[in-house]
Structure formats: C-alpha cells, structure tokens
Amino acid sequence: MAFSIMNKTALVTGAGRRIGKATAIRLGAEGANVILHYNSSEKEAAEIANIIREKGRKAWTIQADLADSDVAGDFFSCAVECAGSVDILINNASIFPKTTLDTLTPENFFHNITVNALSPFLLARSFSQQDREGVVINMLDTKIVDYEQEHAAYQVSKRILFTLTRMTAMEYAPKIRVNGVAPGLILPPEGEDESYLQRRASSNLLNKWGHPDDIADAILFLIRSDFVTGQVLFVDGGKFMKGMTYGL
C-alpha cells in the first residue's frame, strides 16, 4: 500500500523560493499540511503559506538559520509544537557559493557542510526520535557523481549528505524511509538568467533543462513508494551517466 500524503504534515526547509517553493505548493495541493521553513525569505514563505491555506490545508512558517547547527534541534521542536507531529521531512535548504580548492577557507568549507549536510542530518535525527513512521527526502545534486571545480565546498557537502542518506536509511529503518533526489540543470544560480541553462543544456543526454515541478514529481514518487529506501533518484536528463567518476 502506498504511503498516503493526505492529511499528513510535511516540513520543507528552504520553502520560500525555487525548488522548495514548488515542493511546498505541490505537497499542499496533494493534501498535506505544510510547515514552511525559511531563513531570510519571510515574505515569500508567507505568500506560499496563504496559497496552501486557500487549498484547504494548514500551513505554518518558521524562521531558522541552519548555518547554526545548534538551531536545528530547537527548530524541529518548534515545528512539532506548531503542528503536533511531522510525517514528512524534505531537507531542501542549501547554499551554493563559488569556491575552488585554491580559494576555499576553513570558514566557508564548514559553512557549506553545516548548512548542506550537518543540519539536514540533525533534523533527520530529531525526526526519527518522534518514534513514528515517516519519510525523509534529502536534496542532493547530480554533482555527487561528477567533479565541478567552481563549487568545491558545496560538492563535498553534498557528498557527505549522500553518505548520510544511506547511513540514516539503514539506521532508522523500518519505521522511517530515507531517500535522496539529485537534481541536474533545473534553475540558473542566483544572478544568472536562462542563458545559463541554454549554454549547459548539452551537458546531459536529453539536451535540455528541467523544471522545479520535475523535482516535486520525484519527491512525491519517493514519498509514496513505501518499499523504497536508501535510494537516490537522479532528475538530471541523464547527466549522471556522463560523469560517473565516483560511482554509487
């Protein structure tokens, strides 16, 4: 029997913008109540919460800076206090700064790891301590099987989150399923426009780019598929097959 989203409560980190926004809206449309985490996108998160409420679902917004690992546990407790419990955790929030091996500093190295790997793990651990069935989806990146020189610290952090996805899938089974979604060319980075996507379309097998709804589709598939855990679903036009230098 598929895991039902109807009347479940989902927590989406980084829900105010981009892929997080599309995911939160889609979960609400599918019948879930949604806790929207944001760091600085308060206005955007409030607007999305209103969209979800207009669909007849409950929605809450909570601010937290996941760059501070001490915040993660308190943030999850606050989410449970608001909603009563959390059934679905979408670890979407991340940072994507440019850093090369020559330019990265200890500070930005650990900043990437804290936001992109440590805080998602701490949230998943708190989620597991509810002692109830549930689903965790970690947002990874097709770069976990490739090497991209301009975002070294980001790439390391997503590789760590990939490993933690597998570890927590084993540790928290059978009550909790943990999977990952690895997007490819979906949205241009901050400060770039559609020409960024056009220039890189040939980097994948399908010679095109995707849409945030493609990621929401993948997330919904993994939430509902109650015999799938420890997996990574690449949504990247086949890009991962062109750069498998590490393997999975």
- Residue 244, pLDDT > 80, answer no
pLDDT band at 130 (very low <50, low <70, confident <90, very high): very high
Q: Quick check: is 3 in a domain?
A: no
How many domains does the chain contain in total? 1
Residue 190's pLDDT is 85
Containing structural domain, residue 89: 9-239
Q: Quick check: is 163 in a domain?
A: yes
Strands (E) in 39-150, as ranges, are 59-63, 88-91, 134-139
- Residue 4, pLDDT > 90, answer yes
Q: Quick check: is 247 in a domain?
A: no
pLDDT band at 50 (very low <50, low <70, confident <90, very high): very high
- pTM of the full predicted structure? 0.96
The CA–CA distances, whole Å, from 113 to 78, 97, 109, 173, 234 equal: 23, 12, 6, 25, 21
CATH number of the domain bearing residue 26: 3.40.50.720
Element (H, E) at 124: helix 119-128
Report the mean per-residue pLDDT for the chain: 95
Residue 243's pLDDT is 59
Q: Quick check: is 246 in a domain?
A: no
Q: Quick check: is 234 in a domain?
A: yes
Q: Quick check: is 244 in a domain?
A: no
Q: Record the tokens describing residue 88, joined without a space.
A: 């679905």
Q: Quick check: is 98 in a domain?
A: yes
